A and B are shown apart, each in its own frame.
Chain A
Amino acid sequence: MNESLGNPRPMSALGRVLAAPAMDEFVHRLRKGEPPEDQQRAIDELLPEGKRAFEFGVRFATLTSLSAGVAGFGLLSNSGAVVIGAMLLAPLMTPIAAGAAALVLAENRRFVRALGLVTVGTVVAIAVGWFVAWMSATSFTEIGEFPTEVESRTFPGLLDLGVAITAGAAAGYILPRRSVTSALPGVGISVALVPPLTVVGIVARSGLWDEARNAFLLFLTNLAAITFAVAVMLLLAGFRPHQDAGRRLARRMSITTLAVLAVAAPLTIHTFSVIEAQRLDQAVREAAEEWDDEVRIVDLSTAITSSGATVELSVSGNRSIQPVWLLAQTIHERYEGPVELRLRFQTEELFVSVAR
């Protein structure tokens, strides 16, 4: 950064890196020429200005509420089809894409407006989720009691980040090209924005704050990844700041990248947790077979904490139960870590009756 940009504040180490000449050069090297006018217009029209802005805001809030409502009922009734319907209704992608475009074009006012709309959408969707859960008198003490459509959105992993980045790139490709807007619903479905927010409201109503935080993390993942990917695609399409703001652009893009990395960290931890949980699951199944190859696993749930693994296992068998300590020991050997096992054993009995 130099004085001609009119910022006399001392720079941090990070600022110096972001504003380094090499970074500027990289950004300028990307410049291949102006994008076609119709593409620029398509991006400009994402967020209407003036009088139409109010109408747009009302329409946005209404559609977000309705979408969250549909998502809420779909999630609680465990209907994937209904949840997909809600994704198609959801208008959140527009302000996020507009925000990414404003980032690339260095249009601060538009960026703030886009951010404001995203915030409104976020609050509305969470509130509707809470309301739907209240209205349907849904309150559980454990996340496992919720329908799988809800539960699956409380454990985001790195794969979700991958989906969000590729779908965001698709959005960045589609948005300036009116000829391929028919593909936009696909993007909406790939990176569902409203359902995770609705899940935040639903599980928060049951006081499950950890799960609510995870669902919100999934939303933040989508938000950061889409912003990043759309911005990159617009840059590649030739979009640049209208005025002499190329250097600020470099810094903005770097901040977006950092945001993506920031959400990637907890997602990495989550992903490793998933792998560890699968390893434990496998160890339990193999140990159960070694323990008694005639038992059938009816239900299995596991949890891993800092003090070890907890295994809740229900099995059924047609002969008397084998020593349970032996099963715990076998799981311990295979999992190679402390295990607490809660076993429920059901005896299967055969009844034959005839009436002639």
Chain B
Amino acid sequence: MKRVALASLLLIVAACAGANEPSDAAVIEVFGPYVGDEAEAFTDYLASAERPGLDILYVGSLDFKEDLAKRVESGEPPDLAVTSDLRNIEELAAAGNLVELPSVVAERATSPLLESADFDFGAVALPYRLRLNSLVWYRSDIFARNGWQPPTSLDELLTLTRNIAATGRHAPWCAGFNDLSEPGWPASNWIEDLLLRRGGTEVYDAWLDNELPYTDPIMFEVFDEFKQLLLEPSHNDGALIADLTRANHREATESLLENNPDCVMVKASSAAAAWLGNPIKNNRRQRVFALPGASVDDPPPLTVSVESIVSLVRSPEAEEVLTVLSSQPAGSGWERIGGFVSTDAFSNPAGDFAEFIGPVHRVDVSESMTSEDRQSFYATLQEGVRVGFDDLDFELELLENVRIFHEEESE
């Protein structure tokens, strides 16, 4: 008896390249996490480094991080890869799996963010694009109809959330914490942003340096605030709280596009312009505000992901591609879909999201964690959301024990 067993596994991969390459041309493979429109935009940018006899093949995977690790392990690395996982870049560099950037590229590969993040990369990563994670996309037409205003403090945000829920017409938030690559990361962005606001940069930096215990009272405060904002049954569009852990992040945010949406706000990064539409240029009904600071006087701080290109195979062609790419305006491919934020946006605010750029910004914590810490953080968030964080003290203590275990193991 033969049966088809086990749940099916869905994987999505995109492969794009410049058209009509001659068969004898050298091909440089770039591996990355973009699929769909983002893959197309990125490929347009890569195409600027193609020439007769040199083609670039972009291969994208939603399981990018795991696939990259396997490829490196099996000795089949791509020539170049694009990633925002800072810790992974550091680990790959430490293991000798990254090739140093050509000196001319290294001179251009500067980003104040990376420098402040205190990562020991050497000159192996060419910062390419920023993702501003601390944004809230909202329906400006429904806000205007009801007289709601984008909030200017976290307390106002909670009040607004409760007011929207009280109308009974729309849920305040649409949320989905699932994702094919790493379930749980959308919830982690909430915790990171709330901690940066409630704890300030010093506390946030301590977390970045893995020196902030999850049992610290500030963590309890932040997780509890997340619970109050999102996990009240009337505050989100899930029939059950557990639905939030099952719903896909992108699909959940897309409900904002409907004529009569289930919700009026979603928390998503600047990259969401690829599917929610560029809120600045096209003057759409869905617009953006930065998640407000703790008080009216605090400018909204930003958590940011830095997407960088790294080189894994030494070759003159790969060096040539990096050299050309580092000299090109990286946003050229993204004009059609929007959502591009330049790596020098904090020193030279310009472009679609310039109005949200303030003086306080930090790199995304979870992308700076070791993969073990990150996985346990995400898994705890998913499990906590599923049960509505009904025993927050216990869940944070568990998380702290896992963190200590990983720390001791690495020592």
Name A337's contact: one of B2, B3, B19, B70 (CB within 8 Å): B19
Bound: A35/B3 CA distance, A: 70
- Per-position contact with B for A328-355: 1 when CB-CB < 8 Å, else 0? 1101100011111111111111111100
Residues of A within 8 Å of B92, CB to CB, are none
Name A339's contact: one of B8, B14, B71 (CB within 8 Å): B14
A328–B8 contact, CB under 8 A? no
Residues of B within 8 Å of A307, CB to CB, are 40
Q: Pick the most buried of A328, A331, A342, A350: most chain B CB atoms within 10 A of its CB.
A: A328
Interface stretch, picked from B59-67, B275-283, B313-321, is B59-67
B16–A308 contact, CB under 8 A? yes
Name A328's contact: one of B2, B15, B40 (CB within 8 Å): B15
User: Is the C-beta of A316 less than 8 angstroms from some C-beta in chain B?
Assistant: yes
A interface residues, how many (CB within 8 angstroms):
31
B59–A340 contact, CB under 8 A? no
Smallest Cβ-Cβ distance to A339: which chain B residue: B15
Residues of B within 8 Å of A344, CB to CB, are 8-10
User: Is the C-beta of B104 less than 8 angstroms from some C-beta in chain A?
Assistant: no
Smallest Cβ-Cβ distance to B9: which chain A residue: A345
Interface stretch, picked from A221-229, A246-254, A319-327, is A319-327
Bound: A338/B9 CA distance, A: 23
How distant is B301 from chain A, measured CB to nearest CB, in Å?
Answer: 36
Bound: A323/B29 CA distance, A: 16
Known: A323-B71, A340-B39, A349-B3. A329 touches B57 (CB 8 A): yes
- Per-position contact with A for B35-60: 1 when CB-CB < 8 Å, else 0? 11001100100000000000001010
Q: Pick the most buried of B1, B9, B14, B39: most chain A CB atoms within 10 A of its CB.
A: B14
B59–A328 contact, CB under 8 A? yes
Known: A307-B40, A325-B61, A329-B57. A349 touches B5 (CB 8 A): yes
Bound: A314/B17 CA distance, A: 24
Known: A323-B67, A340-B35. A328 touches B14 (CB 8 A): yes
How distant is B350 from chain A, measured CB to nearest CB, in Å?
Answer: 28
Bound: A1/B20 CA distance, A: 52
B10–A341 contact, CB under 8 A? no
Bound: A226/B243 CA distance, A: 57
Bound: A25/B65 CA distance, A: 76
A350–B13 contact, CB under 8 A? no
User: Is the C-beta of B31 less than 8 angstroms from some C-beta in chain A?
Assistant: yes
A340–B4 contact, CB under 8 A? no
A325–B5 contact, CB under 8 A? no
Smallest Cβ-Cβ distance to B43: which chain A residue: A338
- Per-position contact with A for B284-296: 1 when CB-CB < 8 Å, else 0? 0000000000000
B57–A340 contact, CB under 8 A? no
A324–B8 contact, CB under 8 A? no
Residues of B within 8 Å of A352, CB to CB, are 1
A348–B2 contact, CB under 8 A? yes
Residues of A within 8 Å of B95, CB to CB, are none
User: Is the C-beta of B144 less than 8 angstroms from some C-beta in chain A?
Assistant: no
Residues of B within 8 Å of A331, CB to CB, are 15
Residues of B within 8 Å of A341, CB to CB, are 12-15
Q: Pick the most buried of A323, A341, A351: most chain B CB atoms within 10 A of its CB.
A: A323
A340–B5 contact, CB under 8 A? no
Bound: A347/B4 CA distance, A: 6
Bound: A353/B1 CA distance, A: 9
Smallest Cβ-Cβ distance to B59: which chain A residue: A325
A340–B8 contact, CB under 8 A? no
Known: A327-B13, A328-B13, A329-B15. A346 touches B6 (CB 8 A): yes
Q: Pick the most buried of A314, A327, A343: most chain B CB atoms within 10 A of its CB.
A: A343
Bound: A329/B16 CA distance, A: 9
Q: Pick the most buried of A324, A325, A348: most chain B CB atoms within 10 A of its CB.
A: A325
User: Is the C-beta of B11 less than 8 angstroms from some C-beta in chain A?
Assistant: yes
Smallest Cβ-Cβ distance to A342: which chain B residue: B12
Residues of B within 8 Å of A345, CB to CB, are 8-9, 11
How distant is A151 from chain B, measured CB to nearest CB, in Å?
Answer: 24
How distant is B391 from chain A, measured CB to nearest CB, in Å?
Answer: 36
- Give the A-binding residues of B (Cβ under 8 A): 1-6, 8-17, 19-20, 29, 31, 35-36, 39-40, 43, 57, 59, 61, 63, 67, 70-71
Given contacts A332-B57, A343-B10, 8 further A-B contacts (CB under 8 A): A323-B71, A329-B15, A340-B12, A340-B16, A344-B8, A344-B9, A345-B9, A350-B2
7 smallest beta-carbon distances between A and B, as pairs: A338-B16, A349-B5, A328-B13, A328-B15, A332-B15, A340-B14, A324-B11
